[in-house]
């Protein structure tokens, strides 16, 4: 049961994000008569300062966190993998340039750089995805570069070169497929990092804008009423904690699995 719990939590999160728009939810309905009401049989997570159902807004917010996490990780992984693999395989000035660029990005704390980029681009989900992707590609580039540097001297790559295969073919057919396992582990941990970053930037007002029910924005709005309605902060906070914990546990399991496979090989 303990091994299945992380996957079950992730399936609930994904189901809420994908099926939520078709459920009979009312995350924007204002009911001033029910403002700041505690959990009840009708609203099992209570209501916020405008009488909106916290449970409905929590489910609707899952769609935002899911969309941002998947978009940022996919874009960062694609850009970072291609850049790191190409630089490592070509070598020379291309590899040196990528190394300097990566060092430059790593000189700044990631979350502070994301805040600065979001402030420059402006608030909104689209700009948030761009800002987090510009920060997140670095880790994938470093991983892809390190893997390709160790793989490009293998016999199957030398055989492909001897048969006249071009650089693009060697990268796409003989090198990048071998990076799937480590990149999958990196992407799993990346999802957890993006969820926390999206919540943090939305808390600061740089992500989803009202009345969008982002989990980070829900915490920001509920922080003003913590003494009288603690459920406004607890509900989205626990949701973030459970999803991030589940993603990290899944990442640990994948890492251990691939480590065992590599040891057997």
Q: What is the pLDDT of residue 207?
A: 86
Closest CA to 67 of 176, 202, 249, 222: 202
Rounded Cα gap, residues 178 and 131, in angstroms: 29
Asked whether residue 228 carries a pLDDT value surpassing 60, the answer given is: yes
Q: What is the pLDDT of residue 154?
A: 83
Contact 64, 208 (CB under 8 A): yes
Highest mean pLDDT among 58-62, 103-107, 258-262: 58-62
124 or 165, which is more confident: 124
Rounded Cα gap, residues 247 and 259, in angstroms: 18
Rounded Cα gap, residues 157 and 176, in angstroms: 12
CATH of 68-264, one of 1.10.3720.10, 3.40.50.300, 3.40.50.1460, 2.30.290.10: 1.10.3720.10
Mean pLDDT of 187-197: 93
Closest CA to 14 of 76, 52, 44, 59: 59
| Alpha helix (H) residue ranges in the chain | 5-19, 54-90, 92-106, 110-121, 125-151, 155-162, 167-169, 180-203, 215-222, 231-264
Q: Is the pTM of this model over 0.75?
A: yes
Contact 132, 198 (CB under 8 A): yes
- Cα angle 222-224-227, degrees, rounded to a multiple of 5: 90
Q: What is the pLDDT of residue 256?
A: 81
Asked whether residue 245 carries a pLDDT value surpassing 90, the answer given is: yes
Rounded Cα gap, residues 115 and 162, in angstroms: 48
- Cα angle 94-98-102, degrees, rounded to a multiple of 5: 175
């Amino acid at each position: 049961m303990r091994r299945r719990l992380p996957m079950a939590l992730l399936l609930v999160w994904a189901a809420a994000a994908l099926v939520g728009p078709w459920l009979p939810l009312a995350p924007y309905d204002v009911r001033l008569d029910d403002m700041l009401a505690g959990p009840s049989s009708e609203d099992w997570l209570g209501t916020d300062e405008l009488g909106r159902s916290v449970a409905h807004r929590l489910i609707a917010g899952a769609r935002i966190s899911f969309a941002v996490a998947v978009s940022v990780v996919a874009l960062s992984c694609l850009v970072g993998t291609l850049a790191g693999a190409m630089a490592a395989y070509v070598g020379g000035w291309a590899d040196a340039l990528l190394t300097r660029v990566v060092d430059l990005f790593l000189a700044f704390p990631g979350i502070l750089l994301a805040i600065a980029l979001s402030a420059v681009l402006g608030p909104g989900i689209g700009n948030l995805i761009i800002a987090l992707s510009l920060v997140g590609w670095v880790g994938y580039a470093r991983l892809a570069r390190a893997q390709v540097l160790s793989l490009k001297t293998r016999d199957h790559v030398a055989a492909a070169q001897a048969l006249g295969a071009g650089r693009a073919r060697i990268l796409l057919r003989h090198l990048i497929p071998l990076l799937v396992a480590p990149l999958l582990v990196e992407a799993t941990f990346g999802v957890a990092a993006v969820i926390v970053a999206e919540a943090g930037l939305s808390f600061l007002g740089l992500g989803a804008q009202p009345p969008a029910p982002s989990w980070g924005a829900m915490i920001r709005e509920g922080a003003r009423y913590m003494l009288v309605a603690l459920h406004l902060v607890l509900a989205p906070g626990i949701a973030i904690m459970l999803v991030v914990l589940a993603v990290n546990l899944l990442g640990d399991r994948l890492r251990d699995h691939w480590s065992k496979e590599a040891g057997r090989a």
